[in-house]
Amino acid sequence: MSQAPQTPGQCSGPSSQPDPLDQRLSQNLAGIKHKLVVMSGKGGVGKSTVAAQLAVGLALAGHSVGLLDVDLHGPSIPRMLGIKGHAQVQEEQQLIQPVVLDEGLRVISVELLMPNREASVIWRGPMKIGVIRQLMGDVAWGGLDFLVIDAPPGTGDEPLTVAQNIDGAMAVLVTTPQEIALADLRKSVDFCLQVELPMLGLVENMAGLVCPHCGGQVDFLGQGGGQATAQKFGLKFLGRMPWDPRLMAAADAGRLVDLLRRDQDEAAPWRLMVEQVRDLLGEKRS
C-alpha cells in the first residue's frame, strides 16, 4: 500500500526552512487540551449532528469549547446552530475570529468566510489542505478545554490533513447500525490505525425510533451493529443515539442549541454521550 502523501509545510530535506504556518498552527493548538475529530466512513449517518451535540453538550457542561467544521464541500454546522453572519478577519493580526455563541462556544466553518454562502466550493486537494491548515493555525481559538472537529465522511484529504497536523487528536467514530454503513466504518478504523490516530470511541447513531403512536421501539436500520463493531475492535462504545424528529426539526431551523439547552433529562442519549467522553478524558462531572 502506498504511503500517505506528504502534508504541505513538512520539511523535505536538510535545507528546507520551517513553514510559518506550521509554527502558527503548533502555537495556536498548544492551548487546546483535547482535540476530537468526529469521523464516519459513509455520508448520511448524522456525523455533523453528533459533532454539534457533542460540542454544545460540552459547552453546556461548563467547558470552553471550539467547533471546527472542515467539511468544505457540504458544511452543515453553521445552519444547524443558526449562525447567520460571517466570521470576522483581523487584517493587522492576520487572525480569523470565530463566531461565539451562547455558553462561549466558538465556531468556524469555511461557509462563514464565503461572501455567498450558497456558492459551491470547487477545490482540489492542495487547496483544501491549505485552507484546513489555515482554519487550524490562523483562527483565534484561544485556550480551550475541547476542540471538536467535524470532518467529512471517508478517508480523504480533510481527515488526513487533520490527523497529520494536530498532535494529540483523537477520533470519535460515527455509524448507523446497518452493515452497509459498518463496512465503510471499518475503513475509517483502518485509516486511524494506519495514520496512528487514536480512537476515543464509537457512537451508534439513528439507533431506532420510538413510535409516537404506540411507544414501541422501531429498529428501522437494524440493531446493535455499532456496539458489536466497537467490541470487535476494542473500542469504547459511547452510546446509542436514537432517531429523534425533534432534533431534525431543530437542526433544520437552526435551533439545535436551544433544544439541547431546554432538555433537562439527565438520561438523554446526547447527555450520556457527553458524560462518557468527559469520563474517558478524565474531566470532572459538573
Instruction: Convert the pLDDT of each residue in 159-169 to its tens digit.
Output: 999 999 999 99
Residue 97 has a CB neighbour count (10 Å cut-off) of 14
Q: What is the mean pLDDT of residues 267-272?
A: 93
- Whether the pLDDT of residue 40 is over 90: the answer is yes
Which cell numbers in the block locate residue 94? Answer: 492576520
222: left (phi over 0), alpha (psi -120 to 50) or beta: left
In terms of Cβ atoms closer than 10 Å to its own Cβ (0-12, 13-18, 19+), residue 272 is middle
Q: What is the mean pLDDT of residues 120-125?
A: 92
- Whether the pLDDT of residue 90 is over 70: the answer is yes
Q: What is the mean pLDDT of residues 28-43?
A: 95
Q: What is the mean pLDDT of residues 165-189?
A: 96
Which cell numbers in the block locate residue 115? Answer: 461572501
- Whether the pLDDT of residue 3 is over 80: the answer is no
| pLDDT value for 33 | 97
- Whether the pLDDT of residue 11 is over 70: the answer is no
Topology of domain 20-274 in CATH is Rossmann fold (3.40.50)
Q: Which of 37-51, 79-93, 98-112 has the lowest mean pLDDT?
A: 79-93
What pLDDT, in 10s, does the model give residues 207-251?
988 777 776 778 878 778 999 999 999 999 999 999 888 898 999
Domain boundaries, the chain: 20-274
The H or E element spanning position 146 is strand 144-150
Instruction: Please tell me the distance from the alpha carbon of residue 86 to that of residue 109, in angstroms, as a whole number.
Output: 9
Contact 148, 38 (CB under 8 A): yes
| pLDDT value for 208 | 83
| pLDDT value for 68 | 98
| pLDDT value for 2 | 40
